[in-house]
């Protein structure tokens, strides 16, 4: 019988098996990565967010959950305008965070 709905694949993340080397390295290079409270101010002011889904909050969560492809897609949409830096209540230098993250490979090693 067709009940009109389908089950979607589980989006559960097993945090015991997730590779967080990239986030760990980022946190060592830019300690501000650990001070984000996930308020969403960065997303609210982001020029690219309505079209690309770019969000520093989502980038950090994606790194912690091992979703590197999603993170790379969002990073490629960032225009580095700095609006998110100006509105961050914790004073996180999001431009520095994003630029540093773009220099890290999947293993957390600095590429350039």
Concatenating the DSSP letter of every residue in 10-44 gives P----TTT---HHHHHHHHH-GGGGT-----HHHH
* pLDDT at 52 (0 to 100): 83
1 belongs to a structural domain:
no
Over residues 29-59, the pLDDT tens digits come to 999 999 999 999 999 999 888 888 888 999 9
Q: How many domains does the chain have?
A: 1
* pLDDT at 9 (0 to 100): 80
What tokens appear for 32 in the block?
């501000």
* pLDDT at 112 (0 to 100): 65
Range of the domain at 71: 21-102
15 belongs to a structural domain:
no
């Amino acid at each position: 019988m067709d009940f009109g709905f389908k089950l979607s694949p589980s989006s559960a993340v097993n945090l015991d098996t997730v590779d967080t080397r990239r986030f760990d390295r980022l946190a060592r290079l830019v300690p501000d990565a650990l001070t984000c409270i996930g308020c969403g101010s960065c997303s609210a002011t982001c020029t690219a967010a309505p079209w690309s889904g770019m969000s520093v909050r989502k980038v950090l969560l994606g790194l912690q959950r091992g979703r590197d492809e999603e993170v790379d897609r969002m990073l490629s949409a960032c225009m580095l305008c700095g609006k998110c830096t100006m509105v961050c209540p914790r004073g996180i230098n999001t431009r520095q965070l994003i630029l540093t993250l773009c220099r890290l490979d999947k293993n957390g090693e600095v590429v350039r």
